[in-house]
């Protein structure tokens, strides 16, 4: 493996599980020291740390609850003490599927806080230093739901359209930072369709209709994703790693679908 991120430090929010954990592992495999963040039992956090370290780099867990701006401020200060933050991946996210009229207000508040506002807070702290140093990568894990809507996902879709817009503004403001040689500062969203992680399990179960888990997965895919196959977290992670390369310096302000042609329709 090409360890082109050797000497770089990355923070991946929501990396105790699913896509974030796969991204943390992939960045470590490419040589970066990785700050992981996310909720979980001590055992889950230890297992996540061990798996990132196994990928070949130093790793440390920073345990902020991203619903709380003061905890995000502390997280960013601790991470920037630990290393010079070169790569920021905002991946933490939650979902709650219900009709708009039945969405609990507390779910709206939590989803907007974790999926959208947290990225604003981390980017505000990270981007100025990246610009000074001439290299920085912000990759926000949005969703196909940052590009098109589905019913029963009002707060989630609102948060994901929001993060796509936020990323485009940041990309414009930092487009001229650095140089082609230093790699510049880029801000992008990755927009996955269905990915095999714990986040989608309630929806899989809701689509079983008395059948097996595979029936539930098939039903979800048939609704929207023409490839009829889910991505693996590692598939998303591979794109994030590529975006960190120097040669990706002019790929900025994009919302990149990885959705089996969902949004081609």
**Residues at the contact surface with ligand NAD, assessed by CB under 6 A:** 14-20, 38-40, 65-67, 91-94, 114-115, 141, 143, 192, 194-195, 197-200
How many CB atoms lie under 10 A from the CB of residue 54? 12
For ligand NAD, which is the closer residue by CB, 5 or 19?
A: 19
CA 40 – CA 62 distance, rounded (Å): 12
Question: Judged by CB, which is closer to ligand NAD: 131, or 199?
Answer: 199
Residue 220: CB minimum distance to ligand NAD, A = 9
Q: Which is nearer to ligand NAD, 125 or 135 (CB)?
A: 125
Structural tokens at position 179 = 């140089």
DSSP string, 103-150: --HHHHHHHHIIIIIHHHHHHHHHHHHHHHHTEEEEEEE--GGGTS--
- Active-site residue among 62, 135, 156, 194? 156
Tokens of 87: 């790569």
> What is the smallest separation between the CB atom of 132 and ligand NAD, expressed in angstroms?
28
- Say how many residues make up the chain: 265
CB of 176 to ligand NAD, least distance (A): 29
Output the smallest distance, CB 260 to ligand NAD, in A: 11
Which residue from 109, 11, 106 is spatially nearest to 69, judged by alpha carbons?
Answer: 109
* Neighbour tally for 198: CB within 10 Å: 8
Compare residues 39 and 175 and give the one whose CB is closer to ligand NAD: 39
- Give 33 or 61: the residue with its C-beta nearer to ligand NAD: 61
Rounded to whole angstroms, the Cα distance separating 101 from 105 reads 10
Position of tokens 């048939």?
222
Chain centre distance of CA 148: 18
Active site (annotated) includes residue 135: no
Minimum CB separation from ligand NAD for residue 222, in Å?
Answer: 15
Q: Which residues fall within 8 angstroms of residue 39, CB to CB, at 6 or more apart?
A: 16, 63, 65
Nearer to ligand NAD, 200 or 244 (CB): 200
Nearest approach, Cβ of residue 91 and ligand NAD (Å): 5
CB 26 within 8 A of CB 104: no
Q: Cα dihedral sign for 185, 186, 187, 192? A: negative
Residues labelled as active-site residues: 156
């Amino acid at each position: 493996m090409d360890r082109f991120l050797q000497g770089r430090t990355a923070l991946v929010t929501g990396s105790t599980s699913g896509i974030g954990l796969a991204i943390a592992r992939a960045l470590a495999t490419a040589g970066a020291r990785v700050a992981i963040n996310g909720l979980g039992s001590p055992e889950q956090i230890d297992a996540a740390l061990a798996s990132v370290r196994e990928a070949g780099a130093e790793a440390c867990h920073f345990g902020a609850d991203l619903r709380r701006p003061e905890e995000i401020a502390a997280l960013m200060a601790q991470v920037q003490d630990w290393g010079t933050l070169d790569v920021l991946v905002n991946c933490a996210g939650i979902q709650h599927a219900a009709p708009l009229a039945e969405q609990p207000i507390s779910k709206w508040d939590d989803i907007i806080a974790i999926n959208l506002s947290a990225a604003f807070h981390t980017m505000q702290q990270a981007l100025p230093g990246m610009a000074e140093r001439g290299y920085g990568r912000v990759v926000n894990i949005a969703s196909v739901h940052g590009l098109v809507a589905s019913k029963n996902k009002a707060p989630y879709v609102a948060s994901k359209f929001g993060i796509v817009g936020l990323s485009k503004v940041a990309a414009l403001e930092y487009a001229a930072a650095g140089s082609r040689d230093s790699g510049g500062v880029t801000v992008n969203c990755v927009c996955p369709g269905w990915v095999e992680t714990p986040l989608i399990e309630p929806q899989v179960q809701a689509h079983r209709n008395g059948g097996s888990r595979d029936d539930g997965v098939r039903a979800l895919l048939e609704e929207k994703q023409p490839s009829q196959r889910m991505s693996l977290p590692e598939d998303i992670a591979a794109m994030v790693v590529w975006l960190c390369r120097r040669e990706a310096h002019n790929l900025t302000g994009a919302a990149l679908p990885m959705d089996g042609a969902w949004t081609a329709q």
